[in-house]
Protein backbone atom coordinates (compact mmCIF):
# COMPACT_ATOMS: atom_id res chain seq x y z
CA UNK A 1 0.00 0.00 0.00
CA UNK A 2 1.25 3.48 -0.94
CA UNK A 3 -0.12 6.08 1.49
CA UNK A 4 0.40 9.77 0.70
CA UNK A 5 0.33 12.18 3.66
CA UNK A 6 -0.35 15.82 2.84
CA UNK A 7 1.49 18.14 5.25
CA UNK A 8 3.10 15.44 7.44
CA UNK A 9 4.86 18.06 9.60
CA UNK A 10 1.96 20.38 10.45
CA UNK A 11 0.10 20.27 12.73
CA UNK A 12 2.90 18.74 14.79
CA UNK A 13 0.61 16.71 17.01
CA UNK A 14 -0.65 14.83 13.91
CA UNK A 15 2.85 13.51 13.09
CA UNK A 16 2.08 10.18 14.84
CA UNK A 17 -0.41 9.37 12.05
CA UNK A 18 2.56 9.10 9.66
CA UNK A 19 4.80 7.34 12.19
CA UNK A 20 2.22 4.66 13.07
CA UNK A 21 1.36 3.99 9.41
CA UNK A 22 5.05 3.39 8.65
CA UNK A 23 5.15 0.66 11.31
CA UNK A 24 2.58 -1.40 9.39
CA UNK A 25 4.02 -4.15 7.21
CA UNK A 26 3.55 -3.48 3.51
CA UNK A 27 2.79 0.25 3.88
CA UNK A 28 4.99 2.78 2.08
CA UNK A 29 4.39 6.26 3.48
CA UNK A 30 5.10 9.23 1.21
CA UNK A 31 4.79 12.91 2.08
CA UNK A 32 4.17 16.23 0.38
CA UNK A 33 4.73 19.38 2.44
CA UNK A 34 6.19 22.86 2.30
CA UNK A 35 8.65 22.61 5.20
CA UNK A 36 12.31 21.88 4.35
CA UNK A 37 13.18 18.19 4.81
CA UNK A 38 15.76 19.09 7.48
CA UNK A 39 13.01 20.70 9.57
CA UNK A 40 11.22 17.36 9.96
CA UNK A 41 12.02 15.55 13.24
CA UNK A 42 14.16 12.44 12.83
CA UNK A 43 11.34 10.02 13.73
CA UNK A 44 9.10 11.60 11.07
CA UNK A 45 11.87 11.54 8.45
CA UNK A 46 12.48 7.88 9.18
CA UNK A 47 8.77 7.11 8.72
CA UNK A 48 8.66 8.67 5.24
CA UNK A 49 10.04 6.63 2.36
CA UNK A 50 10.12 9.85 0.34
CA UNK A 51 9.23 13.48 1.02
CA UNK A 52 8.53 15.96 -1.77
CA UNK A 53 8.82 19.60 -0.75
CA UNK A 54 6.62 22.09 -2.59
CA UNK A 55 6.85 25.85 -2.38
CA UNK A 56 3.18 26.24 -1.48
CA UNK A 57 0.63 23.59 -0.53
CA UNK A 58 -2.07 26.06 -1.58
CA UNK A 59 -0.88 25.67 -5.18
CA UNK A 60 -2.87 22.61 -6.23
CA UNK A 61 -1.09 22.28 -9.59
CA UNK A 62 2.24 22.11 -7.80
CA UNK A 63 0.89 19.45 -5.42
CA UNK A 64 -0.53 17.45 -8.35
CA UNK A 65 2.85 17.48 -10.07
CA UNK A 66 4.50 16.29 -6.85
CA UNK A 67 1.95 13.45 -6.53
CA UNK A 68 2.48 12.48 -10.17
CA UNK A 69 6.23 12.26 -9.58
CA UNK A 70 5.73 10.04 -6.51
CA UNK A 71 3.37 7.80 -8.50
CA UNK A 72 5.94 7.55 -11.33
CA UNK A 73 8.61 6.54 -8.81
CA UNK A 74 6.66 4.36 -6.36
CA UNK A 75 3.57 3.19 -8.23
CA UNK A 76 -0.16 4.02 -7.79
CA UNK A 77 -1.36 5.68 -4.58
CA UNK A 78 -3.85 3.76 -2.44
CA UNK A 79 -4.67 6.56 -0.02
CA UNK A 80 -4.15 10.31 0.32
CA UNK A 81 -5.02 12.14 3.54
CA UNK A 82 -4.18 15.23 5.61
CA UNK A 83 -6.81 14.90 8.40
CA UNK A 84 -6.89 18.69 8.22
CA UNK A 85 -9.97 20.81 7.46
CA UNK A 86 -7.86 23.23 5.42
CA UNK A 87 -6.76 20.57 2.91
CA UNK A 88 -9.93 18.42 2.68
CA UNK A 89 -10.94 19.75 -0.73
CA UNK A 90 -7.44 19.40 -2.17
CA UNK A 91 -7.21 15.86 -0.78
CA UNK A 92 -10.49 15.03 -2.55
CA UNK A 93 -9.27 16.56 -5.83
CA UNK A 94 -6.09 14.47 -5.70
CA UNK A 95 -8.16 11.32 -5.12
CA UNK A 96 -10.25 12.10 -8.18
CA UNK A 97 -7.28 13.04 -10.35
CA UNK A 98 -5.35 9.84 -9.57
CA UNK A 99 -8.30 7.46 -8.97
CA UNK A 100 -7.60 6.90 -5.27
CA UNK A 101 -9.99 5.37 -2.68
CA UNK A 102 -11.92 7.84 -0.53
CA UNK A 103 -14.04 10.98 -0.66
CA UNK A 104 -14.03 12.81 -4.01
CA UNK A 105 -15.10 16.45 -4.57
CA UNK A 106 -18.70 15.40 -5.37
CA UNK A 107 -18.90 13.71 -1.95
CA UNK A 108 -17.82 16.85 -0.09
CA UNK A 109 -20.79 19.01 -1.06
CA UNK A 110 -22.85 17.46 1.75
CA UNK A 111 -20.11 18.16 4.32
CA UNK A 112 -19.10 21.65 3.11
CA UNK A 113 -22.44 23.46 2.89
CA UNK A 114 -24.62 23.91 5.95
CA UNK A 115 -27.72 23.92 3.74
CA UNK A 116 -26.75 20.50 2.36
CA UNK A 117 -25.92 19.08 5.80
CA UNK A 118 -29.42 19.94 6.95
CA UNK A 119 -30.92 17.80 4.15
CA UNK A 120 -28.93 14.78 5.34
CA UNK A 121 -29.79 15.41 8.99
CA UNK A 122 -33.46 15.36 7.99
CA UNK A 123 -32.90 12.20 5.96
CA UNK A 124 -31.42 10.62 9.11
CA UNK A 125 -34.52 11.59 11.11
CA UNK A 126 -32.58 13.90 13.42
CA UNK A 127 -34.09 17.19 14.71
CA UNK A 128 -33.01 20.42 12.98
CA UNK A 129 -34.24 24.03 13.08
CA UNK A 130 -35.71 25.90 10.07
CA UNK A 131 -33.16 27.54 7.79
CA UNK A 132 -32.57 28.88 4.29
CA UNK A 133 -29.77 30.00 1.97
CA UNK A 134 -29.38 33.77 1.54
CA UNK A 135 -27.73 35.12 -1.62
CA UNK A 136 -29.47 38.49 -2.02
CA UNK A 137 -31.28 41.20 -0.02
CA UNK A 138 -34.57 39.71 -1.26
CA UNK A 139 -33.55 36.43 0.36
CA UNK A 140 -32.84 38.28 3.62
CA UNK A 141 -36.36 39.72 3.66
CA UNK A 142 -37.78 36.29 2.90
CA UNK A 143 -35.76 34.73 5.74
CA UNK A 144 -37.11 37.30 8.21
CA UNK A 145 -40.67 36.49 7.15
CA UNK A 146 -40.20 32.72 7.00
CA UNK A 147 -37.92 32.08 9.98
CA UNK A 148 -38.33 35.19 12.13
CA UNK A 149 -36.11 36.63 14.85
CA UNK A 150 -33.90 35.55 16.54
CA UNK A 151 -31.70 34.00 13.85
CA UNK A 152 -28.10 32.96 13.33
CA UNK A 153 -26.40 33.86 10.04
CA UNK A 154 -23.39 31.78 9.02
CA UNK A 155 -21.47 31.42 5.75
CA UNK A 156 -23.06 28.45 3.98
CA UNK A 157 -19.56 27.17 3.27
CA UNK A 158 -17.57 27.98 6.40
CA UNK A 159 -15.72 26.50 9.37
CA UNK A 160 -16.38 27.14 13.04
CA UNK A 161 -17.90 30.45 14.19
CA UNK A 162 -15.99 32.65 11.75
CA UNK A 163 -18.23 35.18 10.00
CA UNK A 164 -21.21 34.35 12.23
CA UNK A 165 -23.86 36.95 13.17
CA UNK A 166 -26.60 36.74 15.79
CA UNK A 167 -29.68 38.57 14.52
CA UNK A 168 -32.27 39.45 17.15
CA UNK A 169 -33.74 42.68 15.70
CA UNK A 170 -33.77 44.88 12.59
CA UNK A 171 -30.69 46.80 13.74
CA UNK A 172 -28.68 43.55 13.76
CA UNK A 173 -29.91 42.89 10.25
CA UNK A 174 -28.67 46.30 9.10
CA UNK A 175 -25.27 45.61 10.69
CA UNK A 176 -25.13 42.32 8.84
CA UNK A 177 -25.97 44.01 5.51
CA UNK A 178 -23.19 46.56 6.04
CA UNK A 179 -20.63 43.86 6.83
CA UNK A 180 -21.76 41.42 4.12
CA UNK A 181 -19.88 41.49 0.81
CA UNK A 182 -23.04 40.47 -1.07
CA UNK A 183 -21.11 37.64 -2.74
CA UNK A 184 -20.73 35.07 0.04
CA UNK A 185 -23.77 32.81 0.32
CA UNK A 186 -25.07 32.77 3.90
CA UNK A 187 -27.26 30.31 5.71
CA UNK A 188 -29.88 31.81 8.03
CA UNK A 189 -31.48 29.56 10.62
CA UNK A 190 -33.56 29.87 13.75
CA UNK A 191 -31.50 30.72 16.83
CA UNK A 192 -31.46 27.90 19.37
CA UNK A 193 -31.57 29.14 22.95
CA UNK A 194 -29.13 26.57 24.30
CA UNK A 195 -25.74 27.18 25.88
CA UNK A 196 -24.69 23.54 25.54
CA UNK A 197 -23.03 22.19 22.40
CA UNK A 198 -22.04 18.55 22.53
CA UNK A 199 -20.71 16.23 19.85
CA UNK A 200 -20.72 12.69 18.51
CA UNK A 201 -17.21 11.92 17.28
CA UNK A 202 -15.39 8.85 16.04
CA UNK A 203 -13.95 6.77 13.24
CA UNK A 204 -15.58 4.69 10.50
CA UNK A 205 -13.88 1.81 8.69
CA UNK A 206 -13.67 1.20 4.93
CA UNK A 207 -17.22 -0.21 4.93
CA UNK A 208 -18.67 2.76 6.83
CA UNK A 209 -19.02 0.97 10.18
CA UNK A 210 -18.41 3.01 13.34
CA UNK A 211 -15.40 1.40 15.03
CA UNK A 212 -14.75 4.13 17.60
CA UNK A 213 -17.22 6.57 19.13
CA UNK A 214 -16.90 9.26 21.76
CA UNK A 215 -18.06 12.84 22.26
CA UNK A 216 -17.14 16.13 23.82
CA UNK A 217 -19.01 19.01 25.43
CA UNK A 218 -17.95 22.65 25.15
CA UNK A 219 -17.84 24.84 28.26
CA UNK A 220 -18.47 27.87 26.01
CA UNK A 221 -20.01 27.69 22.56
CA UNK A 222 -17.73 28.59 19.60
CA UNK A 223 -19.84 31.74 19.08
CA UNK A 224 -19.25 32.79 22.71
CA UNK A 225 -15.51 32.22 22.25
CA UNK A 226 -15.42 34.40 19.16
CA UNK A 227 -17.47 37.24 20.66
CA UNK A 228 -16.02 37.35 24.18
CA UNK A 229 -12.47 35.96 23.92
CA UNK A 230 -13.20 33.61 26.81
CA UNK A 231 -10.80 30.76 27.51
CA UNK A 232 -11.53 27.70 25.44
CA UNK A 233 -12.47 24.65 27.49
CA UNK A 234 -14.20 21.40 26.66
CA UNK A 235 -14.20 17.86 27.96
CA UNK A 236 -14.44 14.37 26.53
CA UNK A 237 -17.54 12.73 27.96
CA UNK A 238 -17.08 9.69 30.17
CA UNK A 239 -20.12 8.02 28.60
CA UNK A 240 -22.52 8.95 25.82
CA UNK A 241 -26.27 9.49 26.02
CA UNK A 242 -27.92 6.61 24.07
CA UNK A 243 -30.16 9.17 22.31
CA UNK A 244 -27.09 11.05 21.05
CA UNK A 245 -25.54 7.77 19.86
CA UNK A 246 -28.78 6.87 18.05
CA UNK A 247 -28.81 10.22 16.22
CA UNK A 248 -25.07 10.10 15.52
CA UNK A 249 -25.17 6.63 13.97
CA UNK A 250 -28.19 7.55 11.85
CA UNK A 251 -26.27 10.59 10.54
CA UNK A 252 -23.19 8.48 9.78
CA UNK A 253 -25.37 6.11 7.76
CA UNK A 254 -27.03 9.00 5.88
CA UNK A 255 -23.73 10.68 4.97
CA UNK A 256 -22.13 7.40 3.89
CA UNK A 257 -18.49 8.34 4.47
CA UNK A 258 -15.85 5.60 4.69
CA UNK A 259 -12.52 5.17 6.50
CA UNK A 260 -12.65 8.62 8.04
CA UNK A 261 -12.86 10.42 11.34
CA UNK A 262 -16.00 12.46 11.97
CA UNK A 263 -17.02 15.25 14.36
CA UNK A 264 -20.77 16.03 14.52
CA UNK A 265 -22.05 18.97 16.59
CA UNK A 266 -25.42 19.15 18.35
CA UNK A 267 -27.24 21.60 20.58
CA UNK A 268 -28.44 19.97 23.79
CA UNK A 269 -32.13 20.87 23.88
CA UNK A 270 -33.59 19.70 27.18
CA UNK A 271 -33.39 15.91 26.96
CA UNK A 272 -33.19 16.01 23.17
CA UNK A 273 -30.62 17.20 20.61
CA UNK A 274 -30.64 19.41 17.52
CA UNK A 275 -28.06 18.70 14.79
CA UNK A 276 -25.83 21.65 13.88
CA UNK A 277 -22.91 20.58 11.72
CA UNK A 278 -21.10 17.57 10.26
CA UNK A 279 -17.29 17.79 10.08
CA UNK A 280 -15.62 15.26 7.81
CA UNK A 281 -12.55 14.96 10.06
CA UNK A 282 -11.72 14.75 13.75
CA UNK A 283 -11.98 17.77 16.02
CA UNK A 284 -8.92 20.03 15.81
CA UNK A 285 -6.36 21.24 18.30
CA UNK A 286 -5.26 18.67 20.87
CA UNK A 287 -8.54 16.75 20.83
CA UNK A 288 -6.96 13.56 19.49
CA UNK A 289 -4.74 13.49 22.60
CA UNK A 290 -7.81 14.09 24.76
CA UNK A 291 -9.61 11.13 23.13
CA UNK A 292 -6.55 8.99 23.82
CA UNK A 293 -6.27 10.03 27.46
CA UNK A 294 -10.02 9.67 28.12
CA UNK A 295 -10.16 6.16 26.68
CA UNK A 296 -6.58 4.98 27.45
CA UNK A 297 -6.07 4.20 23.74
CA UNK A 298 -3.86 5.15 20.79
CA UNK A 299 -6.06 6.45 17.96
CA UNK A 300 -3.04 6.98 15.72
CA UNK A 301 -2.36 3.24 15.88
CA UNK A 302 -6.08 2.43 15.62
CA UNK A 303 -6.29 4.44 12.41
CA UNK A 304 -3.27 2.64 10.94
CA UNK A 305 -4.95 -0.67 11.80
CA UNK A 306 -8.23 0.35 10.14
CA UNK A 307 -6.51 1.61 6.96
CA UNK A 308 -4.72 -1.72 6.57
CA UNK A 309 -7.90 -3.77 6.96
CA UNK A 310 -7.75 -4.40 10.70
CA UNK A 311 -9.77 -2.94 13.53
CA UNK A 312 -9.25 -0.85 16.64
CA UNK A 313 -7.43 -2.39 19.57
CA UNK A 314 -9.28 -3.91 22.52
CA UNK A 315 -10.41 -1.33 25.09
CA UNK A 316 -8.85 -2.47 28.37
CA UNK A 317 -9.87 0.44 30.62
CA UNK A 318 -13.08 2.24 31.49
CA UNK A 319 -13.31 5.75 29.97
CA UNK A 320 -12.71 8.86 32.07
CA UNK A 321 -13.45 12.53 31.55
CA UNK A 322 -10.61 14.38 29.86
CA UNK A 323 -10.63 18.16 30.19
CA UNK A 324 -8.88 20.46 27.72
CA UNK A 325 -8.61 23.94 29.29
CA UNK A 326 -6.65 26.78 27.73
CA UNK A 327 -5.21 29.96 29.26
CA UNK A 328 -4.08 33.18 27.61
CA UNK A 329 -0.72 34.87 28.10
CA UNK A 330 -2.49 38.25 28.39
CA UNK A 331 -5.00 37.25 31.09
CA UNK A 332 -4.31 37.53 34.83
CA UNK A 333 -5.38 34.37 36.63
CA UNK A 334 -5.96 33.82 40.34
CA UNK A 335 -3.99 30.56 40.28
CA UNK A 336 -0.51 30.13 38.84
CA UNK A 337 0.70 27.24 36.70
CA UNK A 338 2.43 25.86 39.82
CA UNK A 339 -0.86 26.05 41.73
CA UNK A 340 -2.56 23.98 39.02
CA UNK A 341 0.18 21.35 39.07
CA UNK A 342 0.05 21.09 42.88
CA UNK A 343 -3.73 20.89 43.14
CA UNK A 344 -4.19 18.36 40.35
CA UNK A 345 -0.96 16.36 40.68
CA UNK A 346 -1.42 12.99 39.03
CA UNK A 347 -4.40 14.22 37.01
CA UNK A 348 -2.49 16.43 34.55
CA UNK A 349 -1.52 14.40 31.49
CA UNK A 350 0.25 17.14 29.56
CA UNK A 351 0.47 20.88 28.98
CA UNK A 352 0.69 21.93 25.32
CA UNK A 353 1.54 25.23 23.68
CA UNK A 354 -1.12 26.24 21.17
CA UNK A 355 0.15 27.05 17.63
CA UNK A 356 0.08 30.79 16.97
CA UNK A 357 -2.51 30.36 14.20
CA UNK A 358 -5.10 29.18 16.76
CA UNK A 359 -3.97 31.06 19.86
CA UNK A 360 -6.04 34.22 19.32
CA UNK A 361 -9.29 32.26 19.30
CA UNK A 362 -8.41 29.42 21.65
CA UNK A 363 -5.68 30.60 24.04
CA UNK A 364 -1.95 29.93 24.44
CA UNK A 365 -1.45 27.07 26.90
CA UNK A 366 -3.65 23.97 26.86
CA UNK A 367 -3.93 21.82 29.99
CA UNK A 368 -5.13 18.22 29.52
CA UNK A 369 -6.37 16.54 32.70
CA UNK A 370 -8.31 13.35 33.45
CA UNK A 371 -10.76 12.48 36.20
CA UNK A 372 -13.47 9.92 36.90
CA UNK A 373 -15.56 12.45 38.82
CA UNK A 374 -17.88 15.11 37.38
CA UNK A 375 -17.44 17.08 40.63
CA UNK A 376 -13.67 17.15 40.22
CA UNK A 377 -14.08 18.04 36.53
CA UNK A 378 -16.16 21.08 37.50
CA UNK A 379 -13.53 22.01 40.10
CA UNK A 380 -10.77 21.80 37.47
CA UNK A 381 -12.71 24.06 35.09
CA UNK A 382 -13.35 26.68 37.80
CA UNK A 383 -9.83 26.58 39.28
CA UNK A 384 -7.90 26.80 36.00
CA UNK A 385 -10.14 29.47 34.52
CA UNK A 386 -10.58 31.77 37.53
CA UNK A 387 -9.40 35.29 36.68
CA UNK A 388 -8.43 38.26 38.85
Cβ proximity of 75 and 2 under 8 Å = yes
- Asked whether the domain spanning 130-190 has the same topology as the one spanning 2-102, the reply is no
Cβ proximity of 294 and 266 under 8 Å = no
Asked whether the predicted pLDDT for residue 342 surpasses 80, the reply is yes
Tens-digit pLDDT profile for residues 228-253: 767 889 999 999 999 999 999 999 99
Mean pLDDT of the chain: 95
Tens-digit pLDDT profile for residues 354-377: 888 777 777 899 999 999 999 999
The whole-angstrom separation of Cα 68 and Cα 66 is 5
Cβ proximity of 87 and 57 under 8 Å = yes
3-state secondary structure of 99: coil
Cβ proximity of 15 and 83 under 8 Å = no
Residue 277 pLDDT: 94
* Claim: this prediction has a pTM higher than 0.85: yes
CATH code linked to domain 197-385: 3.30.470.20
Listed by start position, the domains of the chain span 2-102, 130-190, 197-385
Question: How distant, in Å, are the alpha carbons of 154, 249, 383 from that of 335?
Answer: 37, 41, 7
CATH code linked to domain 2-102: 3.40.50.20
Q: What is the DSSP letter of 231?
A: P
Asked whether the predicted pLDDT for residue 224 surpasses 80, the reply is no
Asked whether the predicted pLDDT for residue 324 surpasses 70, the reply is yes
Asked whether the predicted pLDDT for residue 221 surpasses 70, the reply is yes
Alpha helix segments (H runs only) across the chain: 15-22, 42-47, 60-74, 88-97, 105-112, 114-123, 137-146, 170-179, 222-228, 242-255, 287-295, 299-307, 337-343, 356-362, 374-385
Mean pLDDT of 111-118: 95
Tens-digit pLDDT profile for residues 271-309: 999 999 999 999 988 999 999 999 999 999 999 999 999
Domain 130-190 has CATH 3.30.1490.20: yes
Tens-digit pLDDT profile for residues 139-154: 999 999 999 999 999 9
Amino acid sequence: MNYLVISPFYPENFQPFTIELAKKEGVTVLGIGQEPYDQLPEELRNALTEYFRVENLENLDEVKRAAAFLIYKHGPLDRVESHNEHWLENDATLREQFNIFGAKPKHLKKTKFKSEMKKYFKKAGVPVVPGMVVKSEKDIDKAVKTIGFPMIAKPDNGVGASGTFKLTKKADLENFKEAWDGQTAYFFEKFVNSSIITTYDGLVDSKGNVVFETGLTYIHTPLELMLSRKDNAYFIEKELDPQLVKYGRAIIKAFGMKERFFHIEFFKNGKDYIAIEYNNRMAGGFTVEAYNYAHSIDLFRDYANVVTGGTVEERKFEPQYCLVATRRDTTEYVHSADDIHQRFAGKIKTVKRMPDAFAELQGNDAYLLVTESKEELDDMIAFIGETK
